[in-house]
Amino acid sequence: MSETVPPPSGNIALLIDADNASPAALDPVLTVLAELGTVNIRRAYGNWSKTALKGWGAMTHRHAIEPHQQFDVTKGKSATDMKMTIDAMDLLYGGRVNGFGIMSSDSDFMPLAMRIRQDGLPVYGFGTEKTPEAFREACTRFIDVGALAKAAAEEAAARNGADAVAKTTVDDELVNLLGAAWKASKRDDRGFARLSEVGQRAGNRSSFDARNYGYSRLSEMVEKLDNFVTETRDGATYVKRVR
């Protein structure tokens, strides 16, 4: 019988670059961050006089988001990034936050993500598929909000009996990354390694997330790859590369 794992109890801060993020993805973002703990700190930054932020304005009360006004001091420039960074460092040094979510597609947050991780805290980035690689790889996990929306649509379609949304093809680079992580992991006499260890080793080299490919978790994705076989033992998933 498998051991019951208690839910995460961390205090998580979600910082939203409202000038550079869509409110449509907020619900699935909050669901993903539940992996780390409870999102007790929710702040959105931007120039609220802009009509483009109207959607975020409607979200502030519904999701208990604290809006932070940042005027455009110079034309074409926003003070949002600087204010978010300052607040993140204040929260980090306050010592009461166990993880961060940064909702933005702006590569300017790469140094911030790297600095937070240096203190041993996880950083989940949420942005579009066009987000620069520098910010993606600086995060512990980077999740494509478009893929999140696609997965939500798939679940809704499944509940309504409609055809499932197609998965995104897993590229050879990720297959090889998982294969290298499997090879470096402790394996039994049949060549199987704990998927949790494989995922951790792969995560040390990349910020990939199974949700970017339309899967809810790594085990679901690996089970669909012809390169691997999986089996479950006492509630834990084990994996072996076969090709």
Question: What's the token pair of residue 92?
Answer: 């980090």
Which position has the token pair 């947050």?
109
Looking at residue 62, what is its pLDDT?
Answer: 85
For the chain, the maximum distance between any two Cα atoms, rounded to a whole number of angstroms, is 64
- Report domain extents, the chain: 10-157, 172-241
Q: pTM value?
A: 0.75
Looking at residue 163, what is its pLDDT?
Answer: 52
Looking at residue 7, what is its pLDDT?
Answer: 54
Report the candidate in 184, 194, 205, 191 with the shortest Cα–Cα distance to residue 232.
194
Q: At 233, which helix (H) or strand (E)?
A: strand 228-233
Looking at residue 59, what is its pLDDT?
Answer: 86
Looking at residue 5, what is its pLDDT?
Answer: 46
Hey, which bits of 51-151 come out as E strands?
66-69, 99-103, 123-127, 141-144
Task: Report whether 25 contacts 126 (CB < 8 A).
Answer: yes
Cα–Cα distance measured from residue 165 to residue 188, given in angstroms and rounded to the nearest whole number: 36
Distances (CA, A) of 164 to 152, 168, 178, 220: 11, 12, 26, 15
243 residues of the chain, pLDDT tens digit each: 334 445 567 899 999 999 888 888 888 899 889 888 999 999 999 888 888 888 888 888 888 999 998 877 665 556 788 899 999 999 999 999 999 999 999 999 999 999 999 999 999 999 999 999 999 999 999 999 988 877 766 666 665 655 555 667 888 888 988 998 898 899 999 999 999 899 888 877 777 888 888 787 889 889 989 999 999 998 889 999 998
Looking at residue 96, what is its pLDDT?
Answer: 92
CATH number assigned to the domain with residue range 10-157, chosen from the 4 options 3.40.605.10, 2.60.40.2310, 3.40.50.1010, 3.90.1300.10: 3.40.50.1010
**Class of 172-241 per CATH?**
alpha beta
Report the candidate in 197, 221, 198 with the shortest Cα–Cα distance to residue 209.
221
Looking at residue 134, what is its pLDDT?
Answer: 94
Report the candidate in 170, 171, 203, 169 with the shortest Cα–Cα distance to residue 184.
203
Q: Helix, strand or coil for residue 185?
A: coil
Hey, which bits of 160-212 come out as E strands?
193-194
